[in-house]
Structure 1
Amino acid sequence: MNILIAAVGGQGAVVASRILGKLAQNLELDVKVSEVHGMSQRGGSVVTYVRFGKKIHSPIIEKGTADVILAFELLEGARYVEWLKPGGTLITSSQRIDPMPVITGTANYPEDLEKKLLSLPIHCKVIDALAYAKEAGNLKTVNVILIGALAATTEIEEDKWLTAIKEVVQEKLADINLKAFSLGYKKSRCIESNGENDEI
């Protein structure tokens, strides 16, 4: 399984990658995680590669080989969609965070980006993860909302994911993160994709 996490600095991509890494370890799979922070301190792109299977030799995911792209922001999802393999899945938050060129006025945020992503010949789920994080009680749980949505696309038992989350997040934050996972998992599963693209 090759998972590319695309986010903006401060959105919790590193925690998400650690949850996936712990999940793979608990499943007794070989796992490699490569974190590329970029300009994360200034709200820039953060990309993390997570690969797990019987034997993984390299942590790097090449273009056209990702099974899943987990995007915490709409433009970041679009930026890395070329990394998906044919038949791959993009799970992206509908949240929009203006990058520095947009903030400074030297560029415009792409129009109709959500519509364009949903029209691509890929499996795509666009999720209002920020709204669900608010429902969970903490806006910083967008990452775990999306982990829940990812979990819903796999055959890995739900309790395996819950265990990994509890082992990674701080004990005092466990309950709210488990609630966030459950929201992402249930909201994603409630729509039958049938290979078509969905907006949740």
Structure 2
Amino acid sequence: MVKSILLVGVGGQGTILASKLLTTGLMEAGYDVKMSEIHGMSQRGGSVSSQVRYGDKVESSVIEVGGADILVSFEKMEALRWLKYLKPDGKVVVNDYEINSMPILSGKFDYPTGILEELSSKVPTKVVHAAKRAAELGNPKVMNVILLGTIIRSMGLEAINWEKIIGDNVKAKFKELNLKALTAGMDLV
């Protein structure tokens, strides 16, 4: 059985790094894994998505509309943008975090209100405060690893040796911080 995880966010949030760590862990656990990423205007704060599919045999890296088991959104407006990709019985983990796009920054549009309420009215939604938790850990850059932790717990992937994955893929001086962030994320869901 193939599982599909859709990670979405805004350029600079570490969405791609989180998906690469996830993919590495899944591969080391023996799954067949396919990953694809769309950067969009990621260097300028544009939409970024990463699709990770894993199981015994994965034919395609692409998650079709209505095909994601879980949607993990690093920024809350992106959750609404990608919601149509969620399975009818899928779930959403959304970071209660706003990044203003260029049209909002230029004053052409206002940031939409009621996003979390709209999501919750449509699908099972877990709202997390990953930015706040990262700040409590002393480094806002580990928000992505906190959100990775929410995926691990939500998908039942705790048995994978994440300490090794983190140790092999981050600088040694940041290993302990990232392990704390991973645990913090798992504790949020």
- Normalising by the smaller structure, the TM-score range is over 0.9
Deviation at 1:166, TM superposition (A): 2.3
> Corresponding residue for 2:155?
154
Output the CA distance in 1 between the equivalents of 2:160 and 2:90.
Answer: 25
SS of the equivalent of 1:91 reads strand
> Corresponding residue for 2:32?
30
> Corresponding residue for 1:42?
44
> Corresponding residue for 1:92?
94
Deviation at 1:158, TM superposition (A): 4.8
Output the CA distance in 2 between the equivalents of 1:164 and 1:87.
Answer: 30
User: Given that residues 91 and 124 in structure 1 are in contact (C-alpha distance below 8 angstroms), is that contact kept between their aligned partners in structure 2?
Assistant: yes
Amino acid of the residue matched to residue 22 of structure 1? Answer: T
Deviation at 1:171, TM superposition (A): 2.0
Output the CA distance in 1 between the equivalents of 2:150 and 2:86.
Answer: 17
Structure 1: gaps (5+ residues):
189-200
> Taking structure 2 as the reference length, what is the TM-score of the superposition?
0.94
> Taking structure 1 as the reference length, what is the TM-score of the superposition?
0.89
Output the CA distance in 1 between the equivalents of 2:180 and 2:33.
Answer: 26
> Corresponding residue for 1:196?
none
> Corresponding residue for 2:80?
78
Please show how residues 47-196 of structure 1 align to structure 2 within 5 Å: 47-120=49-122, 122-158=123-159, 160-188=161-189
User: Given that residues 151 and 161 in structure 1 are in contact (C-alpha distance below 8 angstroms), is that contact kept between their aligned partners in structure 2?
Assistant: no
Q: Give the 4+ runs in structure 1 shifted more than 6 A.
A: none
SS of the equivalent of 1:143 reads helix
1:153-192: CA deviation from partner (whole Å, max 9, x where unpaired):
232235533332222222221111111111111132xxxx
Identity fraction in percent: 40
Output the CA distance in 2 between the equivalents of 1:129 and 1:178.
Answer: 14
Output the CA distance in 2 between the equivalents of 1:123 and 1:23.
Answer: 26
Amino acid of the residue matched to residue 7 of structure 1? Answer: G
**How many residues align structurally?**
187
User: Given that residues 67 and 89 in structure 1 are in contact (C-alpha distance below 8 angstroms), is that contact kept between their aligned partners in structure 2?
Assistant: yes
Structure 2: gaps (5+ residues):
none
Output the CA distance in 2 between the equivalents of 1:161 and 1:81.
Answer: 28
Change beyond 3 A, Cα 1:158–1:129: farther
User: Given that residues 25 and 160 in structure 2 are in contact (C-alpha distance below 8 angstroms), is that contact kept between their aligned partners in structure 1?
Assistant: no
Deviates more, 1:163-172 or 1:76-85: 163-172
Amino acid of the residue matched to residue 46 of structure 2? Answer: G
SS of the equivalent of 1:24 reads helix
User: Given that residues 29 and 160 in structure 2 are in contact (C-alpha distance below 8 angstroms), is that contact kept between their aligned partners in structure 1?
Assistant: no
Output the CA distance in 2 between the equivalents of 1:163 and 1:98.
Answer: 36
SS of the equivalent of 1:134 reads helix
